[in-house]
Amino acid sequence: MADKRDYYEVLGINKDASEDDIKKAFRKMAKKYHPDLNPGDKEAEAKFKEVNEAYEVLSDKEKRARYDQFGHAGVDPNFGAGGAGGSPFGQDIDLGDIFNSFFGGFGGFGGRRSANPNAPVRGTDVETTIYISFEEAAKGAKKQVNYNHITTCDECNGTGAQKGTSPKTCPTCGGSGHVTINQRTPFGVVQTSRVCDTCKGKGRVVDNPCKKCGGNGRVKRNGTVDVTIPAGINEGQILNVAGRGNSGTNGGPAGDLHVYINVRPHPIFERRGDDVWCEIPITFAQAALGAEITVPTIDGKIKYSVHEGTQPNDIFKLKGKGIPHLGGRGRGDQYVKVTIEVPKNLTNAQRELIKKLDNSTGEKNYARRKGFFEKIKRMFEEN
């Protein structure tokens, strides 16, 4: 881990870079090292992986904050994994839930616990984030998602009692979880009810706590689940996986897992709604004469004929070549903006050819220039 490069350095940005700066830097770097654009180049492939890793951390507010504070260790997926007690970076676990499971919900303070300490309570939901590529969002994918959640301890089956023993009814409160106190005051006897100190409101006590969970009955664990990403999903959408959250107590159902979708920017394509946009540079001659060019689409390369006299920034549309509408029929379109690259580093012979061409063309070849100069002429006549 020591030889890992600084993520800011990898993307070539400053520590105070904005979210937008990070996205732009990623697009630039991904374009430079993308395997499709550097076939067979092992070094580019490694760089591409490094760039992706840096982006996954720096584009996530929470991970970036941990990285800023703790460096690479703070965002290592294996850091603090496994076992109860957990990591100080256990991002997916709601602290309230840990307290609830340790101390039985604080009785009267939390207000969540019903009068019956043994009533089933549904587990809380947990959240995790996955990163998918532009293509996976467009076409759908199957992904394995890793996350942390709290589950029933399998050693004691959630009772909190060491194997071979079982919890017994609390002798102080008789199993109700709370005790009634009669207080003598100048106004008479006042009766108050509070959480039982002996069992912390659980109604049961464990003499020999389970070694695995410390008597808590629940343990923090890494979970994996296979999810199907539907084609057309977009950045910021959430997949809900029912019953994969924290497990419930007293036989209550488990909460859900919310999977936040993060889509990595593509080096060539840009998504606008369900449409795909890209820019293709063509030569001056291709624009002037018309040409068959190769256009990348999310389905692969296709041939397209640009017409004679194509102008810079002309846009053509490929109907139905965009991203499938999520959960519906049909697809968006692809828009291709043509840019024209002017040749540089010309030899003398090439210069002569262009001069010859320029000398042989006139007003009838340049409609826009003609119109422009006519406007200038009129402007000075009016004054």
Q: How far is the CB of 44 from Zn ion (least distance, A)?
A: 50
> Rounded distance, CA 222 to CA 369, Å?
67
Rule CB under 5 A: is residue 325 a binding residue for Zn ion? no
Rule CB under 5 A: is residue 161 a binding residue for Zn ion? no
Of 215 and 265, nearer to Zn ion (C-beta) is 215
> Rounded distance, CA 111 to CA 109, Å?
6
Rule CB under 5 A: is residue 162 a binding residue for Zn ion? no
Q: How far is the CB of 104 from Zn ion (least distance, A)?
A: 10
Report the length, in residues, of the chain.
383
**Of 330, 212, 199, nearest in space to 274 by CA:** 330
Q: Exposure of 50 by Cβ count < 10 A (0-12 exposed, 13-18 middle, 19+ buried)? A: middle
Contacts of 343-351 spanning 24+ positions with Cβ under 8 A:
343/283, 343/284
Angle (deg, nearest 10), helices 19-33 and 42-58: 170
Q: How far is the CB of 198 from Zn ion (least distance, A)?
A: 4
DSSP secondary structure, 193-245, as one string: EEE-TTTTTSSEE-SSB-TTTTTSSEEEEEEEEEEEEPTT--TT-EEEETT-S
Rule CB under 5 A: is residue 166 a binding residue for Zn ion? no
Binding string to Zn ion for residues 213 to 252, with x set by CB under 5 A, is what? x---------------------------------------
Q: Using the 8-state DSSP alphabet, how is residue 266 labeled?
A: P
Among 195, 210, 257, 259, binds Zn ion (CB under 5 A): 210
Q: In which element (H, E) is residue 32 found?
A: helix 19-33
Q: How far is the CB of 82 from Zn ion (least distance, A)?
A: 15
> Rounded distance, CA 125 to CA 260, Å?
13
Rule CB under 5 A: is residue 138 a binding residue for Zn ion? no
Rule CB under 5 A: is residue 22 a binding residue for Zn ion? no
Rule CB under 5 A: is residue 198 a binding residue for Zn ion? yes
Rule CB under 5 A: is residue 199 a binding residue for Zn ion? yes
Binding window for Zn ion (CB under 5 A); candidates: 82-90, 162-170, 301-309, 375-383: 162-170
Rule CB under 5 A: is residue 173 a binding residue for Zn ion? yes
Rule CB under 5 A: is residue 155 a binding residue for Zn ion? yes
Rule CB under 5 A: is residue 206 a binding residue for Zn ion? no
Site for Zn ion, rule CB under 5 A: 153, 155-156, 170, 172-173, 196, 198-199, 210, 212-213
